[in-house]
Structure 1
Amino acid sequence: MDFQENFLQTVWKYQYFDKKNLQTTTGQNLEVKKIGFHNFHEGPDFLEAHLRIGSLDYHGHVEIHKNASDWMQHAHSKDEKYKPVILHVVYNNDVPIFHRDGSPIPTLELKGKILLDVIRNYERLIENKAEILCSDSIHSIAQIIRFSMLEKALVERLELKSAKILEILQKTGNDWEETSYRWMFYCFGFKTNSEPMLQLAESLPYKILQKQGSKNMVLEALLLGQAGLLYEFDKDERTIFLKSEYDFYQKKYGLKSFLSQHDWKFMGVRPGNFPYQRIAQLAKIIAKNPALFSTILDASQSLGKFKEIFTIEADLYWKEHTRPRVPSKRMMAGSLSKNTINLLVINLITPLWYAYGRYINDPDWKEKCFELLQEVPTEDNFIIRKFAKVGWTGNDAFYSQGMIGLYHEYCKNKRCLECKIGQNLLKPTKR
């Protein structure tokens, strides 16, 4: 049988082994009173366990390995964190193991003790060739367990995004307006150009843009100039004006740009998502919402209020041009689509709320995030279609964001044994 160490951790966690006449490798009777808390950080695998070995009760940690000799390979005897280990659980007891002081560590060997149903279920799961390994049996899992795992994946996804926001916050000296501005630019990159968008925002402080008020052309000039997307054009009235405005404000504010056209991705990007169009839209949004973070918080009671933030109409020039001096073959949309606005609510607003809740230590913001996501329609992408193909669907962004997190963090990396769905598929048949 081929398996990883996490399989043994699951076997211990759910006690999927024969516990009749349980003994250590030295013949001492063993009774598991409390398995301990699963530790996902450095140190022993299970903390604060309670065991009875022989006639004595022990309180301490449990470490799990495929082979007993892994203890020495990982140099645990030299690590103080492993000093309180009271039981070494192994599949194969190839060598006796001792603490640094020479005292033997009680060992439980699981070879021959793991329930046969559990082994068969595990092999059936990992041998599946489908992208989603549990696709054949996912409907045998209770809906409440699937929903619980979906919620867990969603929270982890929000934690990751909010962690990036809090990193930005630290760089801005805890300025939430500047942080929101930078995060908005990052999100407007829509993955393909997220990093250069963030660099653009970092190179042009929000306070400079706020000083321009609602002067959209000045904002556009500053942003396109800092993005390295303005050139000396002879025959284009707009770009000549924008370049002239940028040159003036660049000298006035001592701006330094580190971006050029080569930093932006155009290949495989639809014209409506070109950096020129997105930056022009951002100029409109900034002109309309001079205090972005305050506006986002004030609109927290209504999805419609959020959508108003992004309800803008591009100038005719950007409807008719895919890039400066390059006319579009057809008139492009002047406003953000409903789908784009929904994505901004999902990826811009919700993580920002979540990060703010973490910052002020207010759990209510977490619930507000869930409520907002339940108001937004589900996304339509290749991941959501994969789950739909196996018959698991949802109607809102709570489901779709949870599924995206589940796929990227668990399914794609085959972390089935860390997933509540996979763990439940290992359950032995009740007799």
Structure 2
Amino acid sequence: MKEDFLHYLWKFKKFDALNLKTLHNEEITIVNVGQYLEMAGPDFFNAQIVIGTQKWAGNVEIHLKSSDWYVHHHEKDKGYENVILHVVWEHDIAVFRSDNSEVPVLELKKYVEKATVENYQSLMAPKSWIFCEKQLKEVDKFALRNWQERLFFERLERKSQPIFDLLEQTNQDWEGVLFCLLAKNFGLNTNGEIFYKIAQSIPFSIIRKESFEVENLEALIFGAAGLLDSEKEDNYFNDLKFRYFYLLHKYQIEKIGIEPVQFFKHRPDNFPTIRLSQLANLYHSQQNLFSKISSLNSLKSSYELFQITASEYWQNHYQFDKESPKKKKTLSKSFIDLIVVNTIIPIQFAFAKSQGKEISEDLIGLLNEVAAEKNTIIEKFTSFGIRSKSAFETQSLLQLKNEYCNKNKCLECAIGMELMKKC
């Protein structure tokens, strides 16, 4: 048994609340269980409790055993002086405040039904992947849908924080922030962080000014990536290299060291050369990209906006100096889906939040058009009966697994709560 189970019992009064007594046989009446803030200090703040004939207002501390008070050194912390009730599963020692007054104790195990404990033990039984994997099919579909919406927006809140941090660094330049986010998206998992650093190393004002010549954009991006550092006989390579050093001098850009981009284990169409060229062509072909992306409201319009290809040179190259069969290297629909999920939706959410606008339904509507993602987490949920029809549902499940299942927060999860009710 863990303390979070006791927190759950107290928060939702999952016990015989009408017949409570302290260990000294004083009647307890709960007026308000208090606020569960999950922060330093007592577990529940501003509770209101009648003990005997005296009404108290203060905090409630919860432990598995009374002696945990001393194990956690609460006797040395003034923040625990105003604890009005010590709720424990098992009492083993009296606890005193600094003025030697005894803290009233409620031994909770006397008032909790056996079936409630058994249901908790069943939920928290040894797992192969997640605790509730054998019970997921039992969850009410309506409750699951509501929980998925909550999870989705929790995930967006987390994704939006780096956006706001970057806005602070760029003097609220939404276009510049979008450039960095798109660069990271174009780099996928392997090169995402490297592409992000590349984008950060080039002031977006320069990208704006040079966007009319795609060769200049490629020179800036390829040069920042270190792809122009060597010596080659390739004419295109040497042209980009000349442009790069000219632009460094023109704008007084300081070249910084960035770790090498990775080619290993990538399909050729995902080679960093191809993705960086596509990124350059996007900014060459689309002016004021942020205003267009912030107003996208359908998957079809997203596909139309990102109808771009790598430069002509890259139609028969994947690397400098190595010619290959000609192939037009456009963005696939599945790649644009990733852009919608990882860049468009988060930046739309962050921008609306900064403007005080409510666009929740629009975001859900757009993401419901995107095909469900395919990865090992989603496959596992499918095997347990939770099938996803769209990226809205898969994004919710990723949040569930990473932030609740992996952290054993079953009693803070709507699914866990629903299963506990079935007792």
Q: What TM-score bracket applies, with the shorter chain setting the length?
A: over 0.9
Alignment partner of 2:290 out of 290, 293, 298: 293
Task: Assess if the C-alpha contact under 8 Å between 2:46 and 2:59 holds in 1.
Answer: yes
Give the Cα–Cα distance (whole angstroms) in 2 for the partners of residues 380 and 175 of structure 1.
Answer: 34
Alignment partner of 2:314 out of 318, 329, 335: 318
SS of 2:172's equivalent in the other structure is coil
The equivalent of 1:29 in structure 2 is 27
Cα 1:63–1:189 change in 2 (3 A) is farther
Alignment partner of 2:256 out of 255, 258, 264: 258
Cα deviation 1:211-262 (Å, max 9, x = unaligned): 01321111001100011111344331211111111111111112223235x4
Give the Cα–Cα distance (whole angstroms) in 2 for the partners of residues 151 and 100 of structure 1.
Answer: 47
The equivalent of 2:336 in structure 1 is 341
Give the Cα–Cα distance (whole angstroms) in 1 for the partners of residues 186 and 43 of structure 2.
Answer: 41
Task: Assess if the C-alpha contact under 8 Å between 1:357 and 1:366 holds in 2.
Answer: no
Give the Cα–Cα distance (whole angstroms) in 2 for the partners of residues 395 and 43 of structure 1.
Answer: 43
Cα 1:84–1:309 change in 2 (3 A) is farther
Cα 1:175–1:83 change in 2 (3 A) is farther
SS of 1:279's equivalent in the other structure is helix
The equivalent of 1:41 in structure 2 is 39
Give the Cα–Cα distance (whole angstroms) in 2 for the partners of residues 21 and 177 of structure 1.
Answer: 62
Task: Assess if the C-alpha contact under 8 Å between 2:297 and 2:366 holds in 1.
Answer: no
Shift of 1:428: 5.9
Cα deviation 1:123-179 (Å, max 9, x = unaligned): 222224331321211122211222222222211111111001111111112221211
Identity %: 36
SS of 1:32's equivalent in the other structure is strand
The equivalent of 2:173 in structure 1 is 175
Which amino acid in structure 1 is aligned with residue 367 of structure 2? L
SS of 2:109's equivalent in the other structure is coil
The equivalent of 1:196 in structure 2 is 194
Task: Assess if the C-alpha contact under 8 Å between 1:200 and 1:259 holds in 2.
Answer: no
Shift of 1:411: 1.8
Give the Cα–Cα distance (whole angstroms) in 1 for the partners of residues 321 and 141 of structure 2.
Answer: 55
The answer for unaligned runs of 5 or more in structure 1 is: none
Please report the TM-score for the alignment, with normalisation by the length of structure 2: 0.93
Shift of 1:400: 1.0
Does residue 371 (structure 1) correspond to residue 371 (structure 2)? The answer is no
Task: Assess if the C-alpha contact under 8 Å between 2:185 and 2:338 holds in 1.
Answer: no
Which amino acid in structure 1 is aligned with residue 113 of structure 2? L
The equivalent of 1:107 in structure 2 is 105
Shift of 1:280: 0.6
The equivalent of 2:125 in structure 1 is 127
Identify which range, 243-252 or 25-34, moves more after superposition.
25-34
Give the Cα–Cα distance (whole angstroms) in 2 for the partners of residues 332 and 55 of structure 1.
Answer: 84
Cα 1:89–1:176 change in 2 (3 A) is same
Give the Cα–Cα distance (whole angstroms) in 1 for the partners of residues 179 and 100 of structure 2.
Answer: 59
Task: Assess if the C-alpha contact under 8 Å between 1:117 and 1:428 holds in 2.
Answer: no
Cα deviation 1:271-315 (Å, max 9, x = unaligned): 222221111111011112232222222x33443333333210222
Which amino acid in structure 2 is aligned with residue 314 of structure 1? A
Which amino acid in structure 1 is aligned with residue 349 of structure 2? Y
Cα deviation 1:49-100 (Å, max 9, x = unaligned): 2322112222332221122232333343454544443222112222222333
Cα 1:414–1:326 change in 2 (3 A) is farther
Which amino acid in structure 1 is aligned with residue 335 of structure 2? T
The equivalent of 1:276 in structure 2 is 273
Tell me the matched-pair count: 423
Give the Cα–Cα distance (whole angstroms) in 1 for the partners of residues 269 and 136 of structure 2.
Answer: 39
Cα 1:75–1:358 change in 2 (3 A) is farther
The equivalent of 2:354 in structure 1 is 359
Cα 1:111–1:302 change in 2 (3 A) is closer
Identify which range, 163-172 or 73-82, moves more after superposition.
73-82
Cα 1:33–1:333 change in 2 (3 A) is farther
Task: Assess if the C-alpha contact under 8 Å between 1:378 and 1:395 holds in 2.
Answer: yes
Task: Assess if the C-alpha contact under 8 Å between 2:278 and 2:311 holds in 1.
Answer: no
SS of 2:359's equivalent in the other structure is helix
